[in-house]
Structure 1
């Protein structure tokens, strides 16, 4: 059940989605990449930003329907990862190439796995672009960040905190003890080892917190699109006002170490 503040933040999040969709509905969205990666950088930022907003809308729908929080958290984790990855790519140099290489590595691995599967062997050729060549040069500077979400998030000044939130969400997503705990209730004291099975999961995290983090994701994804847009003023004040409401900053800055690795070209 949402509190009054939670309902207000849910409405604000709905407004952020509507505003973002309004930008996309324009006949032409002019882009200005921040690095020398041509359209690969803005393409990745836009794709992830749209994904963030679509996932965000789904999360808000589920919360309004009072869906058990444990069932919403996996979608929130995906939303969070998409938002911060878009934010990271938008402020970085050559990381879109590094992400391309990582995607290519993953697709080649998928091809190998599919070839070993009798039931899926016929779809090997449907795995697109797996035969392309790896990019070299500057793409290698962020290879580790493209491969590991922990290293990617630690490129931000607040990287340790950002990764801690990600780990928290992962705990309620992967098939493990944290998920199982939501369906168990310990027996009364003195009945060691006994438990009651719950057919509906308990509330792992308050619904207000889910809405708040969703709003943060929408702000960071919106800022990412602003970075690669020709008109960087549009939505700036709106995102700043929303960030103030949610108690965050609209722009997560890259650390000096990340800037040095990328050549300090922000």
Structure 2
């Protein structure tokens, strides 16, 4: 489950990241930012799953719960067509798996706090990218030409103001390194470890965002509790076995 989860998220991080890079090179940095953000989120999630003993289970549970929520929403829709679509969610009845990381899987800020270095800084960068991924005032302002004193509107724009792509291309590079290292964690041959470390040194970033001490303690406690719950004690000998019969 962990290997397949990491593989899928890493593959998609690279795939959408490559498209975002092409858009940045072509001068569409602002339009590329939702994809930059997605590549970044995929990379950090894969990085987290690869080191977390129950991260894959938590992400799978989130998917099941999201499907259940979608079914409830569609079942209450006024459109008969939408209501009929509430049955098209295979896996929504799947039994939830035991995990200590459900909060982190459902809240990207909490997931970032599970990583060091990362934490609040990692989430802050994600929030910056979100300015360009939602209907925000930042997007609205990008289509307005202010007066020289910035007190009024001189003109409306059909194209957004030019956005410096350099910082966001760097974040794509960071995402590619962290996504690659996530796959490296679950690759027995460590095929690209040295190349990824070289890339991280060139970018002046850590090649690994390790699980925080709190995350390690949380998952260790959960694992211990699971073992205790499943332990049935030593097998009792029968009367005959006690006397060597």
Question: Structure 2 vs 1, CA of residues 115 and 253 (structure 1 numbering), >3 Å: closer, same or farther?
Answer: same
What corresponds to 2:180 in structure 1? 222
Aligned 1:15-94 pairs, distance under 5 A: 40-67=1-28, 69-94=29-54
Q: 1:243 aligns with which of 190, 200, 205?
A: 200
Question: Structure 2-normalised TM-score?
Answer: 0.85
Q: 1:13 — aligned with what?
A: none
* Higher relative contact order (CA closer than 8 Å, sequence separation 6+): 1
Matched, 1:257 2:217: no
User: Unpaired segments of 5 or more residues in structure 2?
Assistant: 224-245
Task: Determine if contact 2:144/2:153 at 8 Å carries over to the other structure.
Answer: no
- Which residue in the other structure is 1:3 paired with? none
Q: Distance in 2 between matches of 1:208 and 1:59?
A: 12
Describe the superposition over 1:63-109 as per-residue Cα deviations: whole angstroms up to 9, x where unpaired. Answer: 22222x21110111111100000000001111111111111111100
Give the CA deviation at 1:195.
4.1
What is the 5 A alignment of 1:93-104? 93-104=53-64
Distance in 1 separating the partners of 2:154 and 2:219? 53
Q: Which has the larger radius of gyration?
A: 2
Take 1:60 and 1:96, find their aligned partners in 2: how far apart are those partners?
Answer: 28
In structure 2, do the counterparts of structure 1 residues 133 and 167 end up closer, same or farther at CA, with 3 Å as the change threshold? Answer: same
1:211 and 2:169 are equivalent in the alignment: yes
Partners of 1:165 and 1:188 in 2: CA distance: 30
Number of residue pairs the alignment of both structures matches = 219
Runs of 5+ unmatched residues, structure 1: 1-39
For 1:185, what is the secondary structure of its paired residue?
strand
Distance in 2 between residues matched to 1:193 and 1:106, nearest whole Å: 44
Q: Could you say which residue in structure 2 is the equivalent of 1:155? A: 114
The aligned runs of 1:113-128 (5 Å cut-off) are: 113-117=73-77, 118=79, 119-128=81-90
TM-score (norm. length: structure 1):
0.78
**What's the CA shift for 1:253?**
1.0
